Amino acid sequence: MKKQILMASALLVTAVAFGQKKELREVAKNIKKGDLEAAQSALNQVKQIATANQDYETEYYFLEGLLGFESAKKGRDIMNSLSKASQAFTKVRELENSQKGKFTSQIPLKEAVDLATQQGTSAYERKDYKNAKKAFEQVYRLSPQDTVFLYNAAVLAVQDKDYDTALKHYIELKNLRYDGAETLYLAKNKQSQKEETFTSKNQRDLMVKSGSYINPRTEKTPSKRGEIVKNIALIYVEQGKNDQAINAFEEARKAFPKDATLVIAEASVYLQLNDRNKFKELMEEAAKLSPENADIQYNIGVINMEQGQLEAAREAFKQALKLRPNYTDAVLNYSTTYINEGNALIEQMNALGNSKADIKKYDELGQQKDMLYRKAVEFMEEYIKVQGNETSVLEQLKNVYGALGDTANFKRIKALLE
């Protein structure tokens, strides 16, 4: 009797397994016919048993992914359908753990990635950041080696003000040790006179050889590690979690102690927290790590100028210009240090009385003020002589000549602006 019961149980298991196989075949058949409602109905019926059975679990998730993909292709709740497809296909890859697995090899990966990319690009062009971020995330989930799409999804989440999603993506990127640095292959279009980027060095070189492009150059974009950690920290600051913001940098800098972009990013967070002394300290540290970075020198100049340390500010601005001779903002701020110093003397002059001693002091201060203004003028004149007529520099130059009462030079510069 006991043997008969066991045999009956075995027959029952066989029957259930056969039923599952039949149901899954029915799902595949309906997907192929395009009857997605029937496919979904059949899939729902078999889910509980199929996902608990190792023999059919992988096939179940493959069909679930295929159904999601076909639904997205037909425009049915595209983003959710793509999400279901990517989650299911990811499960298939995990279960088979091989690109040559029976079902992994059947995943319509290229078509799904192309569809998600098209949806993301289209949504982005419409400024629909909500759907763009979802689509680009699915590109990454479908094709995990294309990490740049997760980065794009994080950036778009920030633009959509969805900071929780952005934080989740940025933390994932940090854990993946995503760098994001790229090599750009550029050349100038002879007809449009605009510089264009090419997908490869070979493509760029061929276009240059054709004679349509000139001035080929290669540019290495900076690592995005600093930006990623900075954004994690800024989101924490936005959420009032300042300690977690600082911890994010401490952890990152242990991993990448010589990465100047991380130091700069950390400095920007301290600036956000209004800790200007720490900002300055970190920028000086970054300058040692990256002595050829003009922006670091410029920022050191700005913070010194804010703190009234004008000589240190001038030295930093001059260093920035040495590294980048056409750095307009550095010229403007260098000249502004002298203008501000001169303006401070005006306050002293206005506070004086009418005594003989005060009048003498007034004249002395006036001469000092004009001398400072002329130092600003000399620096700007030298700049435009070498770099050409930059509008913002000319505007500042005109204003200083006006303050000096130098009508001839005021009119000369004004004419250059017209």
Q: What is the structure's pLDDT at 8?
A: 43
3-state secondary structure the chain: CHHHHHHHHHHHHHHHHHHHHHHHHHHHHHHHHCCHHHHHHHHHHHHHHHCCCHHHHHHHHHHHHHHHHHHHHCCCCHHHHHHHHHHHHHHHHHHHCCCCCCCHHHCCHHHHHHHHHHHHHHHHHCCCHHHHHHHHHHHHHHCCCCCHHHHHHHHHHHHCCCHHHHHHHHHHHHHCCCCCCCEEEEEEECCCCCEEEECCHHHHHHHHHCCCEEEEEEEECCCCHHHHHHHHHHHHHHCCCHHHHHHHHHHHHHHCCCCHHHHHHHHHHHHHCCCHHHHHHHHHHHHHHCCCCHHHHHHHHHHHHHCCCHHHHHHHHHHHHHHCCCCHHHHHHHHHHHHHHHHHHHHHHHCCCCCHHHHHHHHHHHHHHHHHHHHHHHHHHHHHHHHCCCHHHHHHHHHHHHHHCCHHHHHHHHHHHC
Task: Identify whether residues 146 and 57 lie together within a single domain.
Answer: yes
Cα distance between residue 316 and residue 373, in whole Å:
20
Task: Identify whether residues 63 and 105 lie together within a single domain.
Answer: yes
Confidence check: pLDDT of 13 > 70: no
pLDDT band of residue 383 (cuts 50, 70, 90) is very high
Does residue 173 lie in a domain region? no
Does residue 294 lie in a domain region? no
Task: Identify whether residues 16 and 144 lie together within a single domain.
Answer: yes
Last residue of a domain, one of 136, 153, 170: 153
19-23, 106-110, 329-333: least confident range: 19-23
97-111, 282-296, 400-414: least confident range: 97-111
Confidence check: pLDDT of 18 > 60: no
Residue range of the domain that includes 196: 183-220
Last residue of a domain, one of 191, 220, 249: 220
Q: Domain tally for the chain?
A: 3
Task: Identify whether residues 86 and 211 lie together within a single domain.
Answer: no
pLDDT band of residue 39 (cuts 50, 70, 90) is confident
Q: What is the structure's pLDDT at 404?
A: 93
Q: What is the structure's pLDDT at 50?
A: 64
Does residue 116 lie in a domain region? yes
Contact 370, 400 (CB under 8 A): no
Q: What is the structure's pLDDT at 44?
A: 79
pLDDT band of residue 20 (cuts 50, 70, 90) is low
Task: Identify whether residues 16 and 114 lie together within a single domain.
Answer: yes
Task: Identify whether residues 26 and 140 lie together within a single domain.
Answer: yes
Compute CA distances 148 → 175, 239, 255, whole Å: 14, 26, 21
Q: What is the structure's pLDDT at 49?
A: 67
Q: What is the mean pLDDT of residues 346-362?
A: 88
Q: What is the structure's pLDDT at 250?
A: 86
The enclosing domain of 135 has a CATH number of 1.25.40
Task: Identify whether residues 144 and 213 lie together within a single domain.
Answer: no
Task: Identify whether residues 139 and 200 lie together within a single domain.
Answer: no
Give residue 5's Cα distance to chain centre: 66
pLDDT digits (tens, 9 = 90+) for 54-111: 767 888 888 888 888 888 888 888 889 999 999 989 988 988 887 778 888 999 989 9
34-38, 90-94, 229-233, 341-345: least confident range: 34-38
Last residue of a domain, one of 171, 192, 220: 220
Task: Identify whether residues 189 and 133 lie together within a single domain.
Answer: no
Scan for tokens 């001035």, then name that residue. 215
Q: What is the mean pLDDT of residues 384-390?
A: 90
What mean pLDDT value characterizes the chain?
88
Does residue 389 lie in a domain region? yes
Q: What is the structure's pLDDT at 122?
A: 94
37-41, 93-97, 259-263: least confident range: 37-41
Q: What is the mean pLDDT of residues 362-389?
A: 93
**Above pLDDT 90, what percent of the chain?**
56
Query: Pick from 225, 221, 205: which is nearest to 213 by CA?
Result: 205
